[in-house]
Amino acid sequence: MAEGLNLASATHIPWSHPRICVLGDVMIDAYMWGKVRRISPEAPVPVVEITRREQRVGGAANVVKNLHALGAEVDVISVVGTDSEGEMLEQLLAEISNPHLERDGSRPTTVKTRVISGGQHVVRVDEEATHALPSDIQHKVLDSLGRLIASDNRPDAVILEDYDKGFFSESLIEGVLQACEAYDIPVAVDPKLRHFNHYRGVALFKPNLKELNEGLALTHPVHPGSREAMECAVETLMDRLTCQRLMVTLGEHGTWIHAPAEGINHEHIPAIPREVMDVSGAGDTVIAVAALMLASGASPLAMAALANLAGGWVCERVGVVPISKAELEREAVRVPLSHSLTS
């Protein structure tokens, strides 16, 4: 198990002013709060009298929000529709990042609207299209990335945040990875099933346990309690993707990290005991912290430990709440390990 991990003696977070580029499916998380006083006469459904509305960034844009809270300069490359929602999303992103958004008239901007009454979700309405991007839009995305990484403000790391809404395709992924490799920029991936096997040779691949099982199409899903089965599954996936580091988030069981080229072999980092209130957004926080650690040259073990800690912190809050760099430094003393964050 994890040896020599002591963040309590090394709570200084090893990044100052990093620059990270996020590519992926951005969206608006819209909320409508109201009161239910009666049932509709038209159908046996509640009538919600709306009293408040709010629009927040969601999907890959929530990773951007996390990176911003952690002190990073963030570029985001994505695609939205030619609609008012796309304009709104660009405005929201401009408050926390440098947005490079292409417009695609063949799809709406993805919006997930949640109607809430009395603290309970009444219904969620999704407006989206998940077909692949047209080839000309894909070329524009790659051109945006090419200009960015060839500039004086090139990113220290790139995150591919796949929400399976059509942004990524095999050809786009290949183009992104080739461009980043040419400039020696590490890539971290938060995958979804459709393109699970296309992210080859990346610096960090971060599925959760469900995605690990589904991505390998395992007849008998593995569980963290079975170390032998976990090791076999992780090694199978690493061999398939030839990635440098494989980090599997395990929910209440913590995090699994495997980076044999750096001497880290199947380390299981348990979760810190917490009162879990809401798991929303935890995965976005984990990949944000992990990418910042990757950009800082931190060891895989320190990366996994700090990302594990940050994801747990988020679960203690209701709603999608990003952790700040100052809060993360204060939290780091909770991890009983002797491993430097900068080693």
**Per-residue confidence (pLDDT) for residue 16, from 0 to 100:** 80
Asked if the structure places residue 35 within a domain, the reply is no
Catalytic site residues?
284
**Per-residue confidence (pLDDT) for residue 251, from 0 to 100:** 87
> Does the pLDDT at position 342 exceed 80?
no
Asked if the structure places residue 39 within a domain, the reply is no
Domain that residue 152 falls in? 7-27+58-109+129-334
Per DSSP, helices labelled H in the chain are 60-69, 84-94, 135-149, 170-182, 209-215, 227-241, 282-295, 300-315, 325-331
- Cβ neighbors of 221 (< 8 A, separation 6 or more) are 213
Asked if the structure places residue 241 within a domain, the reply is yes
* pLDDT tens digit sequence for 185-201: 999 999 999 999 999 99
Choose between 91 and 318: higher pLDDT.
Answer: 91
Domain tally, the chain:
1
* Structural contact between residues 155 and 19, judged by C-beta atoms closer than 8 angstroms: yes
**Per-residue confidence (pLDDT) for residue 146, from 0 to 100:** 97
> Does the pLDDT at position 10 exceed 50?
no
Q: How many helices and strands, by DSSP H and E, does the chain display?
A: 9, 13
Q: Percentage of the chain surpassing pLDDT 90?
A: 76
Asked if the structure places residue 119 within a domain, the reply is no
Asked if the structure places residue 256 within a domain, the reply is yes
**Per-residue confidence (pLDDT) for residue 335, from 0 to 100:** 66
Q: Percentage of the chain surpassing pLDDT 70?
A: 90
Asked if the structure places residue 237 within a domain, the reply is yes
Asked if the structure places residue 135 within a domain, the reply is yes
Radius of gyration of the chain (CA): 20
User: What are the backbone dihedrals phi and psi of residue 90, each rounded to the nearest 5 degrees, phi first?
Assistant: -65, -40
**Per-residue confidence (pLDDT) for residue 270, from 0 to 100:** 87
What CATH number should be reported for the domain holding residue 312? Answer: 3.40.1190.20
pLDDT classification of 329: cutoffs 50, 70, 90: confident
pLDDT classification of 327: cutoffs 50, 70, 90: confident
Q: Is 36 exposed, middle or buried (0-12, 13-18, 19+ CB in 10 A)?
A: middle
> Does the pLDDT at position 231 exceed 70?
yes
- Cβ neighbors of 186 (< 8 A, separation 6 or more) are 157, 158, 180, 202, 203, 204, 294, 295
Asked if the structure places residue 124 within a domain, the reply is no
If you average pLDDT over residues 27-56, what whole number do you get?
Answer: 94
If you average pLDDT over residues 145-174, what whole number do you get?
Answer: 96
